Each structure stands twice: as structure tokens, then as C-alpha cells.
Structure 1
Amino acid sequence: MTQRVLILGGRGRIGSAVANDILTHTQAEITITGRSLSTQKAVNLALGDRVRFLVLNLEDVDKLRSAIAQSDLIIHCAGPFNYRDTQVLEICIDQGVNYLDVSDHRSYTQKALNLHSKALEAGITAVINTGIFPGISNSLVRQGVEQFDHPEKIHLSYLVSGSGGAGVTVMRTTFLGLQHSFKAWINGEWRLIQPYSDRENINFPPPYNHSNVYWFDMPETITLPHSFPTVKTVITKFGSIPDFYNHLTWIAAHIFPQWLMQQGYMIEFLAHVSHLMTDFTNIFSGIGVAVRAEVTGQKNGKNVVYYSTIGYENTATASGIGAGSIAKLLLEGKLKKPGVLPVELALSTDLFTQIMAERGIEIKENWHSY
């Protein structure tokens, strides 16, 4: 029988990228949802004959429940996730349907993880935080951690050119991440970090090379310390190209009054203005992404540093690959991990390297002693 995938919020650029990856690598049929028929025009898929559109508001619980019941896999792409509750995941657990999402906010991550026991009892696999970062980045960390006898420090750096090929929702998420200080695991304790602070110059793969990144609140900040208990420090930093976007974001985080940054209208204004700006600068900067995952620790009695990097020409497409590749594994029955799990606990390194190779993504690895 043909497998059926329901993508909530699939009309957006990341949701469409997830759908395209699934259509390319599986025979599944896909239903994409949106809040009105007018949004159907925004769906841009390479292979449309196996796709249908469903008008669905997540607040319509009965219709949502019916749509989930008719599906073999649910993919939640309807962000921003700091606004979302776990209703979709709870319905999946109740109906025994596997689930994954592209969530990227710690509040949602924590609420989802609280449902682990219920998902485990129901026997469903729910993988959260898939995409590029979080997502592929988490698996790069796991691959690195497994190289060590005693891993001690994780340093993740992300770099995006222009808009990254994403829409206003991703811009909105970026500015929402500047609203509050956040806790990070530093030297074995939780410390309060100011967003977009501690500028650092990181060596990424070409064509980016040395670029600047800043502290940014990501779900990995809370999941990685629990996934790898011996690690005493987890750092997550983000930067943009061109560099002047970093300066503008720093001003929003440090100069604008905090009360102003916590107003919905201000977030909307900044998101739309930024999107208009990047539509122009994308011509020169491109819309690619680079990730560097560095792990420090002990191996064979020596203190060493391992780091791996990946790059991709379209950030939104890379997010689609991160989620779509895991969707394929779930549909094929190759990934069965009952419970609610972040990517680094759900996906083995063997499967990760396999799906990256299938999609032509090269992982570059390096070692050095210190």
C-alpha cells in the first residue's frame, strides 16, 4: 500500500523542501496543509502529481485528528515553534502515528520531551529538532563525540548567507531568539547567556572561510548536555553573511530596549524588513549554509580536538534534507526508536553518514592535539 505523509505547514519554503526530499527519495503520497485555499498557490514542488493540498487550521482539532488518523507519518513544519503547544504530538501518540518536526525553540523542545514516556508506551517514534540546525548539526556532534574516550566540550557554529532561501517565518524566529537571555551548560553548570554576544571568528569550509558568529539560543543547548552526560560545556553560535547583518542583529539584541523587542509588532517589522533586505543581498551573497561541529576531549590518553564541517548552497533545501532523510528512514522501518527523542539520540552515526552520502553532502573531518 502507498504510504501517506502529512506535512503541517508544508506550504512554506522549509516545508516544501521537506516535501521535495520525500518525493525524490520515496514513493509516498504527501498532503500539505495551509490555513486557506489562497496559500495553495505558494506550494512549489518539483513533483506535484503525488501531492494534494488540505485546508487545515491547527485549532480545528477534529479535522486535525482526522487528518492524522489517515496518515502514516506526521511532519510538523508550522512554526515559529515558540508559539506552539504539543497538541499535534499528543494526537500522534494517541493514534499511534510516527512524528517528526523541524522545531527550533527550547520551550517547545522541553514540552515535547516531557511526552517521552507516553510516546514510549504507545510505541511511536517521535523525532524532534530535525532540519539543518538543529538537525544535521546534532548528528555531526554525535559522530564527533563517538570518536573520544572522554568528550568534554562541544562547540557548534552555524553560518547562513543572506536569507538562506527561507521565508519570513525563519526571520521571525531569529528575532524571537533575541528577546531573552538563556541558560547554557558551561563548565558543568547552567549559566545565563546574553543572546548575540561573545563575537568569535570561526574557520568554515569554502567559500565562507573565516566568518563571525555569536551566542544564539538553540535547542541543542539543552539537549546535548543530557544526551552526552560527560560533556561539561556546550556552545551554540550563529552568524550571517554579509557581516553587516551581524552588526544589525547585535544592535537589535543590545541597543534596542528589551521591552520593545518583546512586542509582537516589532518582531514582525524586523522580520519583514530583513526579508526584503536579504532578497536584494542574496544576489551577491547566495543563500547557503555552513555548519562546524567541534568536540574537545581525551582520546588514547591525549587531549585532542576533532571538528567536522558541511556546507550546502541552499539553507532551506538543507533543512529539507535533514528532515526528509529521517522521514524516509521512518517510512522504510529502518528507524524505530519509541519515545520522543532529539536527533542525536534517535539517529545512529551509520545511518546519518549513509543518508548524507545518498544526498551528496560531504562531511569533512579534522583532528589536532592541544
Structure 2
Amino acid sequence: MSAQVLILGGSGRIGSSVAADLLTFTQAGIVIAGRNAALGKKVCDRLGARGRFLLLDLGDLAGLTHAIAQADLVIHCAGPFHYRDTQVLEICIDHGVNYLDVSDHPSFTRKVMSCSAAAEAAGITAIVNTGIFPGISNSMVRQDVEQLDEAETIHLSYGVAGSGGAGVTVMRTTFLGLQKPFQAWIDGAWKTVKPYSDRETIEFPAPYGRTGVYWFDMPETFTLSSTFPVKTVITKFGTIPDFYNHLTWSVARWWHPWLLKQTLVIEFLSRVSHFMTDVTDNFSGIGVAIRSEVTGTKDGKATQVCSTLTHPNTAIAAGCGTGSLAELLLSKQLHKPGVWVVEQALPTDLFNQTLQKRGIQIQQSIS
């Protein structure tokens, strides 16, 4: 029998992109679990005989436990992860099922990392933050760090065109990230940074070009600094076209913090933004650009390693990031009991192997 993969939140844009990647690069049966039967069945129609929809609410503990117990791999795509707990991972540990997620919020990452000893004892491999950023971006940094004798500074910049091909959940994630200042690793110490501050202009590869990016609270801020002995980790994000950056900056700068903590306000901003990008996607596209810059020393000389990646569809790129790890787990090419972030779990040779199969190229320069 073929392996069975359960995708929680599989009817969303990211979850369905992961499912499409699994359809192409594995032989697994795919269970799409979610609360929207109409959307779920549309995804399953594209998967053909290998796809099945399961109506499931994460609050249904008995149903969730039964679904996980039937799976060989669970992929958690039901964001936003600001509000999620470790329940899904704990059930996977209890039933000996490997686990991946597309989480992108530091609080959730810290929660699941606390389950590492239990996962290791159960013999399961759990990898968090596996999409495009975080995800592929983390492996780009690892590849850059490996070119140096000693790395000192990591600077990650992300640019997303319009909606990125993702749903309203991603919009919610953006505005939730503006709620409060966060801690960043700068010059060997944790310092408080305001979200969407300190604009920089980054030169991304064509077709994106010069784009403004701003501080944004990402798990990479602390996972990269704990994985690699560097003095500074910078994580900045921006949107294309640039006027969206100015709108987001104005919300972060001028709106009262109390407003940004109100669920209805976040939902209003997310819905309005999604409506606007539905229009502008027609000329901005929905792609993503990533730039990793690592500075340090090589052979006693100051050296900079820079890697870039572009993809015309952000959601599909995220599906490739998560799908490639699913492929490696299902084929047993990757087995590392415990809970890990991508840069700790995925060797560079396997990273490049899976990306090449998917036609994704990373450009790297050393100076």
C-alpha cells in the first residue's frame, strides 16, 4: 500500500499547493482535511484517484486523533499559527507519525520545539517552518554559511508580489505581525525592534528589481542565531508594488496598538488587502524573491556570500518547500528523530537535489 499523507488545512492556497507537489513527486495517497467541503472537493478533483476529502475541524479532538492515526505523515497547513498550540504534534508523537508544518510565527515555533525530546523518544521526525520563507530561505542561508570558515552576519530579505497567490490567511499573518515590537539578534545581543521599521532598498533579480523591505518578526530571527554562531540576524520583508509597503508602514506607525489587537480590525484589514491585491495581481504578478546575504571570513579574508531565488508564484514555491521535505521523509532519505527547523534538519545536498527536480534555481555569488 502507498503511504498516506494527511494535510490539515489542505483546501487553502498553501495546502493545495503542497498537495499538488505530492501528486507530482510522490506516490502517496493524499487526504485533504478542512472545514470547507466545497473547496476541499475542488482540490481533490485535481488530485484524481489519489485524493480524498475529510471534513474536519481541529477542535474535534476525537476526529483529529483518528485521522492522524491513519496517516504516515501529517502536514499542518492550517494557519494563522499565531493562535495554534502543539496539539497536532502531540497526537503525531503519541501515534508515531512524522510531522511537517508551514508555520511562520516565532511563538508557535517555540511551542513545538519544546516537544523535541518527546518526538525523539517516539522516533518521529518533525520539521517546522517548511514553506518558502521560512523554509527554502533557511536552507539558502545554510548553504551560504557552509561557504565560509566563520559567519558573522545573516541578512535575509523577502519580496512578495501582490497576494503571492495565497489566500486571506497570509494577509492576516502580515497584519498580526504588526501588533507589537519583537526581539532581534543584533551585535551579539537581543534588542527590541519595531515591526515594519528601518526601510532598506534591496536589489532583487529581475523582474522584481529594487524593492523596499522592513523589519518583520520571523522565526528565522532566533532559529538561525541558535543554529549558527553569528553576531547578527536581520529578517526583512516587503511587498510589490511598493505602495503596499507605504500602506502597511502607515498602519504599523500610526494606528493605535490596541486597534491592531482587535480581531475584527485584523479581519477588516486582511479582507480589504486581499480585495486590493485581486486587482493589482493582474499587473504585479504573484511571485516571490528571496535574497540571503551572509558575511564572515574565508581563508582569513572578509567574504560575502549572496544567494538569490525568484519564483513566479509564492504559494507554489511554498508547496515545493514543504513537498520536497515530505518526499524525503516518505522515501526515508531523511530521518532525524526530534523537532527541528529546516536549517537543522535538511542537508544541503538533499536540498539542492529536490529543488533541481522542481526546476527551482538558486544563484550564488561569493566576493
Using the size of structure 1 for normalisation, the TM-score is: 0.98
In the alignment, the residues of structure 2 paired with residue 187 and residue 235 of structure 1 have an alpha-carbon distance, to the nearest angstrom, of 11
Aligned to 1:245: 244
User: What letter matches 2:231 in structure 1?
Assistant: K
- State how far apart, in whole Å, the 1-side matches of 2:49 and 2:199 are: 47
Counterpart amino acid of residue 93 in structure 1:
I
Post-superposition offset of 1:41 = 4.7
Alignment-mate amino acid for residue 332 of structure 1: S
Aligned partner letter, 2:171: M
Partner of 1:164: 164
Distance in 1 (CA, whole Å) between partners of 2:47 and 2:55 is 20
Give the Cα–Cα distance (whole angstroms) in 1 for the partners of residues 50 and 207 of structure 2.
Answer: 37
The superposition leaves residues 332-363 of structure 1 with CA deviations (integer Å, 9 ceiling, x where unpaired) of 00010110000000100000011111111111
- Judged with a 3 Å threshold, the aligned counterparts in structure 2 of structure 1 residues 44 and 217 are, in CA distance, closer, same or farther, namely farther
RMSD over aligned Cα, in angstroms? 1.0
Does the residue aligned with 1:133 lie in a helix, a strand or coil?
coil
Segments of structure 2 that go 5 or more residues without pairing to the other structure are none
Please give the secondary structure, in 1, of the residue aligned with 2:10.
coil
The corresponding residue for 1:232 is 231
Counterpart position of 1:7: 7
**CA shift for structure 1 position 44:** 6.6
2:356 corresponding residue in structure 1:
357
- Kindly indicate whether the alpha-carbon contact (under 8 Å) linking 1:7 and 1:77 is maintained by their aligned counterparts in 2: yes
Alpha-carbon shift at residue 7 of structure 1 (Å): 0.2
TM-score by length of 2: 0.99
Quick check: 1:307 aligned with 2:306?
A: yes
CA–CA distance in 1 between the matches of 2:314 and 2:254? 29
**Equivalent residue letter for 2:91:** I
Displacement of 1:113: 0.4
The structure-2 alpha-carbon separation of the partners of 1:45 and 1:235, relative to structure 1 and needing over 3 Å to count, comes to farther
Conserved 8 A contact 2:164-2:313 = yes
Pairing 1:324–2:323 present: yes
Q: Distance in 2 between matches of 1:69 and 1:188?
A: 44
Within the alignment, does 1:268 sit opposite 2:299 as a pair? no
Unpaired runs of 5+ residues, structure 1, are none
Q: Which stretch of structure 1 is more off in the superposition, 232-241 or 36-45?
A: 36-45
Is 1:102 aligned to 2:85, yes or no?
no
AA at the equivalent of 2:117: S
1:143 is the counterpart of 2:166: no
What is the deviation of 1:367? 1.7
Alpha-carbon distance between aligned partners in 1 of 2:50 and 2:120, rounded to the nearest angstrom: 32
Q: For 1:56 and 1:62, how far apart are their aligned partners in 2?
A: 10
| Percent identity for Structure 1 against Structure 2 | 63
User: Displacement of 1:211 after TM fit?
Assistant: 1.1
Whole-angstrom distance in 2 between the partners of 1:183 and 1:45: 44
Aligned to 1:248, the other structure's residue is in SS state helix
Q: State how far apart, in whole Å, the 2-side matches of 1:186 and 1:148 are.
A: 20
Return the alpha-carbon distance in structure 2 between the equivalents of residues 40 and 7 of structure 1. Answer: 11
Q: Which residue type is aligned with residue 81 of structure 1?
A: F
State whether residues 44 and 52 of structure 2, in contact with CA within 8 Å, keep that contact through their aligned partners in structure 1. no
Query: Aligned partner of 2:100: which letter?
Result: L
Deviation at 1:34, TM superposition (A): 1.1
Once the two structures are superposed, the pairs formed by residues 1-370 of structure 1 within 5 Å of their partners are 1-41=1-41, 43=43, 46-228=46-228, 230-368=229-367
Asked if the contact 1:12–1:42 (Cα under 8 Å) also holds between the matched residues in 2, the reply is no
Task: Go from structure 1 to structure 2 and tell me whether the alpha carbon gap of 1:169 and 1:351 turns closer, same or farther (over 3 Å shift).
Answer: same
